[in-house]
Amino acid sequence: MKNTTLLLFVCVISFTSWSQEIKRKKDDIDVKVSELLSKMSVEEKIGQMTQITVTNFEQKGNPGVIDAEKLKEGIQTYHIGSILNVPNPGAPTVAKWKEVMTTISNEANKTRLKIPVLYGIDAIHGASYTAGATLFPQQIGLAATFNPNLVKRGAEISAYETRASSIPWVFSPDLDFPRNPAWSRIWESFGEDPYLSSRMAVALVDGFENNSFGSKYQVASCMKHYLGYGSTTTGKDRTPSIIPERILRQYDLTIYEAAIKAGAKSVMVSSGEINGTPVHASKHLLTDILKNELGFSGVVVTDWKDIIYLYTRHKVAETNRDAVRIAVMAGIDMSMVPEDFSFYTDLLDLVNKGEVPMSRIDDAVSRILRMKYELNLFENSVANAKDYPKFGSPEHIQEAYNTAAESITLLKNKDAVLPLNKSEKILVTGPTSNSMKYLNGGWSYTWQGENSDVYAADKFTILEAFQNKLGKENVLYTSGADFAKEDDAEIEKAVALAKQASKIVLCLGEKNYTETPGDISNLFMSDSQIKLALALAKLNKPIVLVLNEGRPRLISDFEDKMNAVVQCYLPGNEGARALVDILYGDVNPSGRLPYNYPRYPNSLEKYNRKYTESISEGEQNNDAKYEKSYYPQFEFGTGLSYTTFTYSNLKIDKTEINDADEINVSVEVTNSGAKAGKETVLLYLTDNFASITPEVKTLKRFEKISLEPKETKTVSFVLKQKDLQFVNNDLKWISEKGTFTIQVSNLNKDFLLKK
């Protein structure tokens, strides 16, 4: 007991000292910001708020080469504070990035105040715009791991390799809360649950920033896309949303609040509009809620051209100048203009004529300068490669492999067709089976990820991973189908080869995409792929369906004919190796589905649905024949293993509580099978009756554990008062007296909240 007390005392002292040091550094930076701001002209201040794409500074006809005069104009004449994007043709080496950043830094050092340029990049699953970097699964795959510690470690590696590229700012994490599975950016999110998204958001922010000041191994994170971006009515990118504020507060906003508390230094604003107001024009969302209510003190940056779009697309501004005024007064600190200097020119005119007060400019610039000081850019803005010996190292690659392995989700395993037998000959077929583009998806080396096969030529496609494990002589292959074009000859070839194989691995999914190029009008898997699946199914041979997709494309036309279904999402450069190791049982799958996988295009209910979305047989009128309203292909949280887990002895420490109590929950989990495995323990809560219609169940806690065969572990959770609350029509978080039900696996316990 004495040793424990001493250790606790030392930990408290250490934490207190650390907190005091952080406060001292913040205070020191605030002094520096004030001093520098007092020296700046209005032109220099507005320049800091201006962000331009690096391709604007390239030589005409000579992509990737910086034009010295163009750069001089941007930095010396317009005083630009930030540059983003990747030089043509994409994905420079670390050495090339250093060359580009040195050129930019040298020009900035020629200015009167020598304020460094802040460079930002869409490094969203590793340093994905640097050749040779370690690429992790995309965010939807990170969510499927249900392992925040693994996700945090991946973010640390991503920060390390991005800083090795001399880039201090990443436009990640994506905290969008998608409500329509057709949306083209589902895979950039953490799925459909706000609690899971919040936990993963904190993991990424912690990994990127580590609450550090001046570390050459950390980057500034950028939450995006604030707010409601993933909830378009049409399911198409950058189209309008209709979301009551009560809903925004109960779901979307909680994710951003968690990331802000974790220390996220910046936020990117949604390109969409909510209830008729573009978010870039909403003072209520950007200033009243984000800055004032949530206390966000970081930088608010626009997305690509979005101030311009207030005029040209949304039509809430009659001129570009008016758009600039609206956005800046709403709370925008930095404009991703990004291809001209119109923002600078218009804002300067607005300030000079008194239409935008200097107080708003000083607030924005202070935020930008503070982030630059926190990143230590005034001392060093160009990396030394010698400081980053682990860039693209085997150690980092292993972490990417581990993450991919824990993300891949086994959804179906009829008659235990998996694991496969290494002595059997197999057919690998399908349009996603032999390309790195479909493993990585968009934002990989280039915007749409179309060059992944070139940049990741040394990595294994799914086919190559099979060949590497079994030998080419044991793996039959043909593409079988294109994503869109129907090819009967290819299907016939696949059928003929399948007759020579013991089992079929059918790799279906989507092409690489992101944003508007990924918009679709049909959520079903493409006709060409469905036709291939049905043709192979006629052979009555075991088929393992491997899904390699950014969103859940409907498979109900043929899923019943598949013996196994494995969801890979977009697992990154090491995904194929992890997949094949899982299919042969060298790795036990442990991923869980982070969204409901719908069965039909007009039945898109979320797992935490309302009771009216899941009418039971007993409620149906005898004279009516209703289609089952809640019938997903696979439900949120689904994830099978090659072993079995048994839950028992669910306990709660109180059956009645008041509105100040916490509840301690424990459950025993036993690996009752014969193979070691990882299990995610999910705790759901149901408010049985409430004045705002309650959800059937809501995820409140989870923990991933490892268990050897026959091993038992006790998993404990603490539920707090906030877990019992919802947002009422007065936009207040409240709880109401009544009975709540805790559910863990097939076990449940009730408790009463007294008022």
In this prediction, residue 21 has a pLDDT band, given cuts at 50, 70 and 90, of confident
Sheet holding 299-301, edge to edge: 222-226, 266-269, 299-301
Percentage of residues of the chain with pLDDT beyond 90: 92
What mean pLDDT is predicted for residues 101-124?
Answer: 97
Contact 176, 223 (CB under 8 A): no
Evaluate if residue 8 carries a pLDDT over 70: no
Contact 641, 589 (CB under 8 A): yes
Residue 296's closest CA among 223, 201, 203? 223
Q: What is the pTM of this model?
A: 0.95
Contacts of residue 460, defined as CB under 8 A and 6 or more positions apart, other chains included, come to 468, 576, 577
What mean pLDDT is predicted for residues 158-179?
Answer: 98
Q: Write out the two tokens for 404.
A: 């991919």
Contacts of residue 712, defined as CB under 8 A and 6 or more positions apart, other chains included, come to 668, 669, 670, 671
Q: Write out the two tokens for 424.
A: 């059997």
Looking at residue 599, what DSSP letter applies? S
Question: Can you tell me whether residue 48 is helix, strand or coil?
Answer: helix
193, 237, 303, 687: the catalytic one is 303
Q: Can you give the pLDDT at residue 622?
A: 54
Helices 527-537, 488-498: inter-axial angle, 10-degree rounding: 30
What mean pLDDT is predicted for residues 37-45?
Answer: 98
Tell me the pairing of strands 503-509 and 426-429.
Answer: parallel
Q: Write out the two tokens for 235.
A: 């399911």
Residue 723's closest CA among 734, 715, 714, 731? 734
What span, in angstroms and rounded, lies between the C-alpha atoms of 489 and 479? 11
CA 431 to chain centre: 25
Q: Can you give the pLDDT at residue 376?
A: 96
Q: Can you give the pLDDT at residue 214?
A: 86
Burial class (CB within 10 angstroms; exposed 0-12, middle 13-18, buried 19+) of 316? middle
Per-residue pLDDT reduced to its tens digit, 641-652: 999 999 999 999
Catalytic status, residue 687: no
Tell me the pairing of strands 266-269 and 299-301.
Answer: parallel
Q: Can you give the pLDDT at residue 629?
A: 79
Contacts of residue 519, defined as CB under 8 A and 6 or more positions apart, other chains included, come to 184, 236, 237
Per-residue pLDDT reduced to its tens digit, 348-374: 999 999 999 999 999 999 999 999 999
Looking at residue 525, what DSSP letter applies? P
Q: Can you give the pLDDT at residue 141?
A: 98
Per-residue pLDDT reduced to its tens digit, 483-512: 999 999 999 999 999 999 999 999 999 999
| Burial track 610-619 (b if 16+ CB lie within 10 A, e otherwise) | eeeeeeeeee
What span, in angstroms and rounded, lies between the C-alpha atoms of 607 and 696? 8
